[in-house]
Each structure stands twice: as C-alpha cells, then as structure tokens.
Chain A
Amino acid sequence: AEVEETLKRIQAHKGVIATIVINAEGIPVRTTLDNSTTVQYAGLLHQLTMKARSTVRDIDPQNELTFLRIRSKKHEIMVAPDKEYLLIVIQNPGE
C-alpha cells in the first residue's frame, strides 16, 4: 500500500512520463509503460547503472553511487539505484 502511494505520487508530478521498478536481475516488477519498452529500458539502464556504480567505486573506493541522471534532448531519465532494486523515472523537465 505504501509502495502504491509512493509510486502514484511520483507519477502524478508534472512532466513525469513513466515509472519503472526493476529488480537486481533486470526484471521489471512494476511499470507504467508497455512491456517491450519497459524491457528495453530495464535491460539498458540496468547495465548502465552497474557500470556507473563500478566507475564511482573505482575512482574512490569509499564512494558510492547515489543517483544517476541522464538528460537527453527529449527528456530526462532518472535512476535511483539500490542494492537489489532500481527505480527509474522518465520526466520531461519543464523548459
């Protein structure tokens, strides 16, 4: 129930296009997009987050990745990583 609330709240914000939750193996657990797109995002972003995490760790072993933001021409992809799950939100920043 809490989970539902949180995700609904995020989805309700201005400009948010989609929300995806994926687990450590890259399986989308919760998504507001269609299956094929979700699978694509899940696969690609999962790998990218792994890479980003290892990069931050390589540079400074005490450091760790807290958030990843990819801003592109059309929208911004935000990834909040955790040990087991990944929360991905695609937003269209108001500009």
Chain B
Amino acid sequence: MEIIYVYTRKRSEFGRPCNFSDWPAKVTADIPPDPSLASGFVLRSPVDSYVQHTSDMSEHEVNTERVEVESRGVNHVEGGWPKDINPQEVEQTIRFRKKVEKDENYINTVTHLGALMEHCVKQNNAINIYEEYFGEEEMAEVEDEPPSAKTINVIRDPNVSKRTATRLSWHPDTSKKLAVAYSSLEFQQNVKDMSFDSYIWDLENPNKPELVLKPSSPLVSLEYNPKDSHVLLGGCYNGQMAYWDTRKGGLPVEVSSVEVSHRDPVYGAVWLQSKTGTECFSASTDGQVLWWDTRKLSEPTEALVLDITRKGLLENALGAVTLEFEPTMPTKFMVGTEQGIVIACNRKAKTPPEKITSTYSGHHGPVYALGRNPFCPKVFLTVGDWTARIWSEETKESSIMWTKYHLSYLTDGCWSTVRPAVFFTTRSDGTLDVWDFLFKQNNPSLSLKVCDEPLSSLRLQDNGCVVGCGSKLGTVTLLEISSGLCSLQRNEKTLATAMFERETKREKILEARHREMRLKERARSEGQETEERPEESPLEVLERVRREFFEVIEAELQRKARAETQHPPSAFQVEDGAGEEAAAPGAESQLPKDGEEEEEDAA
C-alpha cells in the first residue's frame, strides 16, 4: 500500500518565501496489524542475539624460505684463565689454583655440593634405576593399530632444473647412505643447463650431497655393489656403463666405450654373484642384455639379444626395461620388456637361442618393475600398466594373482624384505601403496599420497622399515612404515607359501582346461575343414563373403526402417528381423540384388 502525498505549485509561484504555519497532528496513514500474517511466523523464545564491538581481525600464515643450516664443530682449547696467567705454565696455574682453594666461599660451596653429590653417588650404588623388572613379559599383540607411515626425510634435487629420480640404491652395510640416479626420461627433452650429476646422500645431512657423481651422460640406473660398499655401477642415458669407486671421488673409474655399449638408455644394471665381485650385467630398450666385467669395461664379455622367436635377430628384439637377478639362483635371470612380456633366461645355456627359457605375457604396457619374493623364490612380482601381478614360475599363461586396475599407471614396485606377503607399489599420481596380500587383496592395506608429482622409483631398505620413493621432480621422500607392516607375524611364511601354492594350483587347473578346450577346438575345426575345402576357390569365397555381408546389412536396414514407422510392434519386428537374418544366408538371388542397389544408393 503506497503512501504518497502530492503537492502541486504553479511555476510562476516558484521561489516565493515559504509561509509556515502550525498544523495539528494529522494521521496520514493508518495500517492496522493484520493477525492473519502471524501464521507465517514461528514464535521463537528466548531470542539470543549478541553484539560485539571489536575490530575485524584476519589470520594469515607465512612460511619463510627454507634456511640452509650447516653443522660446524668448535674445538675447545683451554681458556678462561685470567689475563695474567699463561695456561701453559704449570707454576702459574698451580699458584692460581692454590689461591682459589684458600677462598672461604670455595670451601663452603664444595662442602655443600659434596654432600649433595654423595647422596646421588650412594643412590647409584644402591639401586640400578634402569633395571628391567618385567623383561620376559611377552609384548602384547599390537595388531589393532592401523597401518601408517610417516615421512622421516625429504631430499630435494639441488639443481634448478629438476630431473626425475630414476633409481635409488641403499648402501649395503649401513643403510645410512642413499645413492640416487637423476636423469630426464622425457624423450629428447634435453634442457641445456640440465646437469648430468647424480648424488650420494648421507641421511644425516639431507641438504648437501655427500658425493657428487659426474658421468658423461645422465645416469638412468645406479647400484651399489652388495659385496664392496665403495663401488657403484651406473648405466647412462646414452647407453654406456660406468663404475665408480667412492674412495676415488666423483669421476667414474672407467666407462665402457660407446661402440660396444647399448644404443638406448640402460634401464637395468645389476651386479652379479661372482668370486671376483666385479661382474655385472645390463639391459636396455635396444633389445640387448650385455654382461660386463668392471675390470675391463672396454667390451662386454657376453651378449644376448632378446628375441623371443629365438632367432637372435635384433629387429625382432624386445626392449628391456627392468632386470632381475636373485643371488640365490645365479644361473637364472629375468627381464621385463617394453612390450609387456617377461622373459626368463638361463645364463648357462649353450647356444644363445636356448638362453631364453620361457616368456610370461600379461601386461598391456612396459613392465616397470620385476622382483622375486625373497621368501618364495618361485613367485615373482611384476608391475606395469595399471596393475601389479604376481606370477609363479610354473604357470606361464597368466599371473596367479593380480591387483585391480587402478586409475593411474603403476611405476615401480618391490617386495618387502621381512614379510612374505607384503609388497609396495608407486603410482604416477604420487601415491605409495602398501599391499598385504594375506590380509586384503582388493585394496592396498595402506595408501599414502607422497607428493603431487608422479613417483618414479621405489626402494626398500634392507631392514624393511624404511622405504625411499623418488619422484619426477627429483624429490626423494623417505618414509618409515608402522611396525605392523614390517614385523613378521606368526605363521606368516607358511600362510603366504600356502596361498601362493593354492593360487598356482588354481592357475594350473585353468591352464589344463584351456589346453583341453583348445585341443578339442582344433580337432573339430580340422574335421570340418576337410569337408568344405574341395568346393571353394578364392573367387567363390569372395563372392560368398560379399553376399553374406550385403545380406546382413540389408536385414539391418529393413529392421531399422520398420522400427521407425511402427513403434509399438517393434518387439515383434525385432523377432522378425532376427528371423530374416537367419533366413538371409540361405536367401534367393533377389534379395542380394536389392541389397546391392541399396548399397549403391547409399554410396
């Protein structure tokens, strides 16, 4: 309801002085309360309302730039003597001491302190305060604690242009040092100022590398010699092999010559078990596996071409991406390839084609990691494309167990060194998964987001508790996993072995059944073929196939046309259509001609 008051004046009267006069109060508008509106409101009692008279504050956080801290030691030399006394002169010091001892304050203080001290000394002699009273009590089973992991250290690539941490290798004895190989694996992405260095880090000092390894080309793989902790083997991006002695500094002791090395980055470089401790072998995507003796890196001692047709042709060779060698089985080794096939080889075979004993195919993409279970050596783990698969050496057709298909690529994986059924995988979305296959198979037991960039490599320390993950930007994160996942439970080995046996048996049964079915199929098709063969010549086959093709198309078109015109009886039409299709192969010559015309029209 509008309240307006209109006031008009003649224009000629504008500007006249106002003449105000008193008016009594006049009600201009009266709006009575409308009780019907009350139903739209809810009575609220009591009503809380507050008013605060302060100024608005806002909270901000700022993180300062990381300060580089360095530890330094100070050597304490004798000092504190008053200026006139020379600490080297025994006489002067003795005189000074005697003077202090005469001081009354000294006597009182020492007496007082002496009493205090005597009390503690006697206490120590009386009771051993750190005695273990209930030492034999069994530790309560702490299985309820959910698995967790915490980051203990983060090591960043000190260079400005970040490279991927492609391989990590723990120092064999102390596990306090970590060798990391840095390189850029992007195809032809060589930034000009990208440094070629790889580093050895001491975990006590994550800010500065302990040793800088300077190869002639970035290192793709790096391994400590398990027997001699001063020697490292590195495989370069350009295919050369190099080895270092940490006592001799950062330049490689010897580098293999370019002509005989690989022609692609050396993705796998592993030390071999040998008396001299100098033998190693390497694999690369150029399809070769080469054996070397580090005393003479000028040429490989042996070579193998990964050609599964066993002809030894380099053109057919599969590119190798990982290499696996178990010191307990020195004659066998396995290679994971770019094509998703794992090749098991025997080193002691007499002729090169016989070296390849068997192949296992199951991955859709490159096999990025390969590892035997340290407790059940017949079982091995492969990581590639979006899954991780567990295989048994005996079943060659498929893996015995596998994880579900993830949303991101799996980039690396390894078994736990303490628990037989636990393994770790890293993904390209920066997540580390810990799988406990005895406990849960459809999901990882622990899934941790380590960083935002893809994780490229993974390595477990020998004690099984600390795992290092390298990422695409060169950041190595060290995580300590909770004790539940790294301490051996009772019966775990037997349970795990039993599980693997069970799965292997299942696969064997399936394999046998498949074989049977295939044999039957073959027998059947062979029987059929002998009947039909004498009738058809190639032209006739072509004609027949063409006819059948057009018939099928014709039937489809007719069915569609009918479906459009008459909706409700479409169900019947579908049946008719099916009936037509069944009749089509045996149809008369008219139908194919129509089909052909329609085809021409459509064309």
Contacts and interface: CB of A to CB of B under 8 A. Distances in A.
B117 A85 contact: no
A26 B80 contact: yes
B121 A16 contact: yes
B128 interface: yes
B120 A78 contact: yes
B116 A80 contact: yes
B106 A76 contact: no
A78 B114 contact: no
Interface string A55-95: 00000000000110101000010101010110101010111
B118 A21 contact: no
B88 to A, nearest CB: 11
A15 B109 contact: no
Nearest to B131: A95
B125 A14 contact: yes
Chain B: interface size category: 20 to 34
Chain B interface helix/strand/loop/mixed: helix
Contacts of A9: 114, 118
B80 A91 contact: no
Nearest to A11: B121
A29 B97 contact: yes
Nearest to A93: B124
Interface residues of A, number: 37
A26 B115 CA distance: 22
Contacts of A93: 124-125, 128
Interface in B450-508: none
Chain A interface helix/strand/loop/mixed: mixed
Given A87-B113, A89-B121, A27 B80 contact: yes
A86 to B, nearest CB: 8
Nearest to A78: B120
Contacts of A94: 124-125, 128
A29 B82 CA distance: 13
A6 B110 contact: yes
B112 interface: yes
Contact of A87 (B79, B101, B117, B122): B117
B120 to A, nearest CB: 5
A13 B125 contact: yes
Contacts of A69: 120
B132 to A, nearest CB: 11
B114 A29 contact: no
Contacts of B118: 9-10, 13
Given A3-B106, A29-B106, A82-B109, A87 B120 contact: no
Interface of A: 2-3, 6-7, 9-10, 13-16, 21, 23, 25-27, 29-30, 39-40, 43-44, 66-67, 69, 71, 76, 78, 80, 82, 84-85, 87, 89, 91, 93-95
Interface of B: 76, 78-82, 96-97, 100-101, 105-107, 109-118, 120-122, 124-125, 128, 130-131
29 contacts: A3-B106, A3-B107, A9-B118, A10-B117, A10-B118, A13-B121, A13-B122, A15-B124, A15-B125, A16-B121, A21-B110, A23-B100, A25-B80, A26-B79, A29-B97, A29-B101, A29-B106, A40-B76, A43-B79, A76-B124, A80-B116, A84-B109, A87-B113, A87-B114, A89-B121, A91-B121, A91-B124, A93-B125, A95-B131
8 tightest Cβ-Cβ pairs between the two chains A and B: A6-B114, A43-B76, A25-B80, A26-B80, A87-B113, A80-B113, A95-B128, A93-B124
